[in-house]
């Protein structure tokens, strides 16, 4: 696993350089989900592929930016599901973006995750690693290109932040009522449109709720299980929080295809319980 974390560190340093120096425009291609890829999405994907190709424990890659899985080493132990550059359309407005990695064994189901990692490219570059052995640990990149351990991350039972995703005009009435009730209880809006910084903020500030529900236009939500939802569900559980699709624990789900999406809610236990009560009634 150490070589995998080191490949992620090398990728992060190169992606950071590309974000700072490259064109933030679109390419002529769309990915499997139908999103037009930015040049930065494609470059970040290539960087990560190059770095994982140097690690012989990596069996195959499943990327948000590749239609199909790519086999690197048939004898390898781990499968990596990753989003090379999450929130990439925010790079041109200079908001934070991120990379997300799920390290799986056997298949891409939630319960096959062994570790999850994300990197935030913001005013500072931070990497968070979640594992069975060490819980959730945050590292920060220094001027010598070294990631230094900063702190462990642990959620409180209840937080103060609310990050409600999805197009509001398409929310289900019960979802709207739940979000309104949370605001009435004094929670503050914190939403950038990048799930990596939005979830990182909730983790660092001790708790709250991030939601990306199913809506009338996208009943299964927008966020993809393999690359985005499972890795963050793993991080939130290991930090003492929870993640649900409204009715099921997220990590009990299995995608039929690597690009499948699911409604998702991440947060401290109190807020996720609120979601479950609301969704079980509806």
Q: Which is nearer to ligand AHG, 36 or 71 (by Cβ)?
A: 36
Window of 6-14, 18-26, 132-140, 187-195 that interacts with ligand AHG by CB under 6 A: 187-195
Contact between 175 and ligand AHG (CB under 6 A)? no
Q: Which is nearer to ligand AHG, 92 or 106 (by Cβ)?
A: 92
Alpha-carbon span 161 to 101, nearest angstrom: 25
Lookup: tokens for 7: 């490949």
Cβ neighbours of 172 (radius 10 Å) = 17
Q: Which is nearer to ligand AHG, 93 or 186 (by Cβ)?
A: 93
Cβ neighbours of 204 (radius 10 Å) = 13
- Distance of CA 77 to CAs 72, 107, 223, 226, Å? 11, 11, 26, 17
Looking at residues 196 to 255 of the shown chain, list those that interact with ligand AHG (rule: CB under 6 A): 212, 222
Residue 154 exposed, middle or buried by CB count within 10 Å (0-12, 13-18, 19+) = middle
- Residue identified by tokens 């914190």 is 190
What sections of the chain are H helices per DSSP?
2-21, 39-52, 173-184, 195-204, 230-238, 269-281
Lookup: tokens for 54: 């140097």
Window of 44-52, 63-71, 149-157, 242-250 that interacts with Mn ion by CB under 5 A: 63-71
Contact between 260 and ligand AHG (CB under 6 A)? no
Please state the closest distance from residue 212 (CB atom) to ligand AHG, in A.
6
Among 83, 237, 245, 271, binds ligand AHG (CB under 6 A): 83
Looking at residues 115 to 154 of the shown chain, list those that interact with ligand AHG (rule: CB under 6 A): none
Contact between 268 and ligand AHG (CB under 6 A)? no
- Residue identified by tokens 């899985």 is 69
Contact between 96 and ligand AHG (CB under 6 A)? no
Contact between 6 and ligand AHG (CB under 6 A)? no
Q: How many residues bind ligand AHG (CB under 6 A)?
A: 14
From the list 112, 125, 153, 117, the residue with the least C-alpha distance to 231 is: 117
Please state the closest distance from residue 156 (CB atom) to ligand AHG, in A.
23
What's the gap between Cα 245 and its chain centre?
A: 15
Please state the closest distance from residue 226 (CB atom) to ligand AHG, in A.
12
Binding site for ligand AHG (CB under 6 A): 35, 64, 83, 86-89, 165-166, 193-195, 212, 222
């Amino acid at each position: 696993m150490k070589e995998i974390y080191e490949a992620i560190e090398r990728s992060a340093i190169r992606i950071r350089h590309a974000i700072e120096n490259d064109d933030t425009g679109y390419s002529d291609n769309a990915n499997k989900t139908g999103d037009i890829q930015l040049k930065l999405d494609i470059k970040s994907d290539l960087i990560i592929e190059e770095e994982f190709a140097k690690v012989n424990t990596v069996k195959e890659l499943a990327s948000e930016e590749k239609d199909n899985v790519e086999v690197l080493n048939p004898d390898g132990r781990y499968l990596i599901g990753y989003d090379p550059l999450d929130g990439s359309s925010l790079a041109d407005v200079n908001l934070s973006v991120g990379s997300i990695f799920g390290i799986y064994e056997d298949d891409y189901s939630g319960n096959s995750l062994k570790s999850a990692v994300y990197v935030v490219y913001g005013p500072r570059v931070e990497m968070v690693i979640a594992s069975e052995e060490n819980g959730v640990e945050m590292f920060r990149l220094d001027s010598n290109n070294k990631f230094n351990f900063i702190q462990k991350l642990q959620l409180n039972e209840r937080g103060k932040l609310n990050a409600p995703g999805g197009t509001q005009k398409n929310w289900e009435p019960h979802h709207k009522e739940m979000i309104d009730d949370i605001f009435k209880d004094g929670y503050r809006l914190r939403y950038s449109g990048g799930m990596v910084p939005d979830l990182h903020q909730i983790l660092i500030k001790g708790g709250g709720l991030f939601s990306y529900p199913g809506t009338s236009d996208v009943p299964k939500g927008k966020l993809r299980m393999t690359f985005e939802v499972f890795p963050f569900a793993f991080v939130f559980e290991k930090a003492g929080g929870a993640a649900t699709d409204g009715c099921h624990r997220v990590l009990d789900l299995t995608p039929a295809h690597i690009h499948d999406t699911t409604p998702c809610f991440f947060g401290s236990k109190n807020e996720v319980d609120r979601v479950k009560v609301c969704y079980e009634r509806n």
